[in-house]
Structure 1
Amino acid sequence: MIKALGQVMLYVNNQEEAVTFWTERLGFTVIANEDGQGMKWIEVAPSKDSETSIVIHDKKLIAEMNLDTPSLMFFSENLNALYEELKSKGVTVGELVDMPNGSVFNFADDEDNYFAVMEKG
């Protein structure tokens, strides 16, 4: 079962300016600043214990990956069970992938918009 909407991906032209906007103007906190595997992203949230955060990505790099729809990251406490449940219901799912922050997979709706789910208790 999906537990929560955990992250919303925001695609911007200038990541540093976007971080400045969210932190200095809106008072958000930087939760993570990751740079690896050819991608850099910065995660911001109203506070360190917020249930939902914004992950700021470079718009040009995302365009090269052909990601057109808003990117949503859902959280699940039992990723394997959810994966099997969605497959059994005929939902198109991608492979389970181990990432630095935990396992993740994507799934598509009926219009081929893809969304991601990460295991997080």
Structure 2
Amino acid sequence: MIKKVGQIMVYVNDQDQAVKFWTEKMGFHVMSEQNNEQGMRWIELAPVESAETTIILHNKQLIAKMQPELNVGTPSLMFFTENVDELYRDLTAKGVTVGEIVSMPSGKVFNFSDSEDNYFAVMENGNNK
């Protein structure tokens, strides 16, 4: 039985730029960085306050070459926050592209894009455990 989501792999064109976005704009921190002998590098990131589920940044071109059958498209990720309005203001001030805040039955939500124009969503959820 699966108990939790451990890691989400995100394939990016520029790992250094992606790390900069997730750490400087989104407030994540680098948990680890690995580089094997074959030139494969991956960076593990997590929100500062929680490391239960992490994001692993992989080089999209290298993965596509190694495993052509693999879908290296960006997954649809939904993040949770306790204060969507505050996060929205913070990301806007940092120059992050954000969509409008929308009220849904489950809470307020907005989307944002990273430095490679991949879109993700954030939902206000006081019970985000």
TM interval, shorter chain, is 0.5 to 0.7
The runs of 4+ residues in structure 1 deviating greater than 4 Å are 69-72
Task: Tell which has more relative contact order, 1 or 2 (C-alpha 8 A, sep 6+).
Answer: 1
Using structure 2 for the length normalisation, give the TM-score: 0.51
CA distance in 1, matches of 2:28, 2:54: 10
Q: Which has the higher strand share?
A: 1
Q: Is the 8 A contact 1:12 1:18 kept in 2?
A: yes
Displacement, 1:2?
1.1
Contact 2:60 2:72 in 1 (8 A): no
Is the 8 Å Cα contact of residues 29 and 48 (structure 1) preserved in structure 2? no
Q: Identify the residue that residue 12 of structure 1 maps to in structure 2.
A: 12
Question: 1:57 and 1:24, CA in 2 relative to 1: closer, same or farther beyond 3 A?
Answer: same
| 1:23 partner amino acid | T
Percent of pairs with identical residues: 47
- The amino acid that maps onto 2:56 is V
Q: CA deviation at 1:68?
A: 1.1
Counterparts of 2:6 and 2:30, CA distance in 1: 15
Letter paired with 1:4: K
1:41-60 correspondence runs (5 A)? 41-47=42-48, 49-60=50-61
CA RMSD of aligned residues (A): 2.1
Compute the TM-score of the two structures, normalised by the length of structure 1: 0.54
Structure 2 gap segments, 5+ residues each: 76-129
Structure 1 residue ranges without an equivalent (≥5): 73-121
SS of the equivalent of 2:23 reads: helix
Contact 2:64/2:72 (8 A) holds in 1: no
**Greater mean deviation of Cα atoms: 31-40 or 21-30:** 31-40
CA distance in 1, matches of 2:44, 2:16: 12
Counterpart in 1 of 2:33? Answer: 33
